[in-house]
Amino acid sequence: MTPPNTIRIAVMPGDGIGPEVTAVTVAILERLARRHGLGLVTEELRAGAFCYRDTGTAMSEETFRRAEAADAILLGAMGWPGIRYPDGTELGPQLDLRMRLGLFAGIRPIKAIPGVRGALADPRAANIDLVIVRESTEGLFASRNRGEIIEDREARETLVITREITEKLSHVSFGLAAERAARLGRPGRVTLVDKANVFRAFAFMRKVFDEVAATYPAIAADHHYVDAMALDLIRRPWDFDVLPTENMFGDILSDLAAGLIGGMGFAPSADLGDGHAVFQPSHGTAPDIAGQGIANPTATLLSAAMMLDWLGTRGAGQGWHDAARELETAVRGAFADGLRTPDIGGRDGTASVAAAVADRLAG
């Protein structure tokens, strides 16, 4: 039987490189739990494209309920080319999870890792440390599976912005900026990324954001049009702090931003709702490299660090924060000391990254 103070983590490895990056991450989590005396159990749950192929459902109701009942969910990646629903659309059980659990805030930290060169040669790129807060339940994705095609002549998708979710997204963003300002010892700034000059929905989003901003006088607030942000993320990404944005904009900008710090293998994420959270790398199943032992598990390890931190914030105890710091420091230290994964031109595969990080957690 599980002891009363035990935290239960549902692990959904998924497809492609998902099982490869989650396996090493779970092993590291177990090591951290031993070191810090954390009561942690993991339960592996099957979902994804191959689950659909084999069972006819991408995520059973029983699996959903077990994930929902867990204290946190660690997810690899889901989907596979060639395995699709009968209407030709891609399987997206991880998107269903976001919608059903109300995970409106996709927290995507973009932080340069020492020794890892991103797309920019400018030495200031070493200072990149921003967070995209991608709204993850509405925006253009509210139309997912609902778009209409009219007489093979016209197609329509409807974007949805609500006051309720925009307020919550703004509060999460300002809370995050305040926490970062305190930790980093510098003022915080939240920049809403929108297209308020063209669309009413974004003018509305901006109005609601400004109302919330007024309640955080210690944090600077401003706005940036999404097209200008795409340019400035290349020109001066080191100038930004917290960037809340609509779902589709966040989807696109977070891939662009991952390129600034070495690629998808380095970009973690946390999808947060009021009571639930899913932690997963920002990347997909990478079918081109699956099964070769070369997937970079860094994004998943850093997502696990975010999970430990979040559990600490939710009352699990200081040990969880300490474990989070230690994991992040170990990952960054391993790269600072010369670890180089194949996605950045090196030769250290999944197991080598895991060993280098585990070594730093020894002693």
Binding region for ligand ATP (CB under 6 A): 17, 21, 79, 264-265, 283-286, 288-289, 295-296, 299, 343
Which is nearer to ligand ATP, 268 or 319 (by Cβ)? 268
Smallest distance from the beta carbon of 343 to ligand ATP, in angstroms? 4
Distances in whole angstroms, Cα of residue 223 to Cα of each of 86, 108, 194, 234, 336: 42, 18, 7, 17, 35
Which is nearer to ligand ATP, 20 or 194 (by Cβ)? 20
Strands 148-150 and 129-135: unpaired
DSSP helix/strand/coil, 125:
helix
Ranges of beta strands (E only) in the chain are 7-14, 40-44, 72-77, 105-111, 129-135, 148-150, 154-156, 189-194, 220-225, 242-245, 268-272, 277-281
Smallest distance from the beta carbon of 135 to ligand ATP, in angstroms? 17
Which is nearer to ligand ATP, 108 or 283 (by Cβ)? 283
Question: CA-CA distance, 248 to 285, in Å (whole number)?
Answer: 20
Task: Check: CB of residue 25 under 8 Å from CB of residue 285.
Answer: no
Which is nearer to ligand ATP, 216 or 279 (by Cβ)? 279
Smallest distance from the beta carbon of 287 to ligand ATP, in angstroms? 7
Smallest distance from the beta carbon of 119 to ligand ATP, in angstroms? 13
Q: How far from the centroid of its chain's Cα atoms is residue 359's Cα?
A: 26
Question: CA-CA distance, 363 to 359, in Å (whole number)?
Answer: 8
Residue sitting closest to ligand ATP (CB)? 284
> Among residues 306, 309, 357, 317, which one has the least CA distance to residue 37?
317
Which is nearer to ligand ATP, 98 or 189 (by Cβ)? 98
Which is nearer to ligand ATP, 294 or 311 (by Cβ)? 294
Smallest distance from the beta carbon of 95 to ligand ATP, in angstroms? 10
> Among residues 46, 102, 109, which one has the least CA distance to residue 305?
109
Question: Which residue carries 């944005």 as its tokens?
Answer: 245
Which is nearer to ligand ATP, 19 or 265 (by Cβ)? 265
Question: CA-CA distance, 34 to 268, in Å (whole number)?
Answer: 24
Which is nearer to ligand ATP, 25 or 245 (by Cβ)? 25
Smallest distance from the beta carbon of 107 to ligand ATP, in angstroms? 17
Smallest distance from the beta carbon of 212 to ligand ATP, in angstroms? 30
Beta bridge partners of 130: 110
Smallest distance from the beta carbon of 231 to ligand ATP, in angstroms? 22
Question: CA-CA distance, 98 to 273, in Å (whole number)?
Answer: 8
> Among residues 16, 69, 10, which one has the least CA distance to residue 43?
10
Which is nearer to ligand ATP, 28 or 196 (by Cβ)? 28
> Among residues 73, 133, 136, which one has the least CA distance to residue 104?
136
Smallest distance from the beta carbon of 267 to ligand ATP, in angstroms? 9
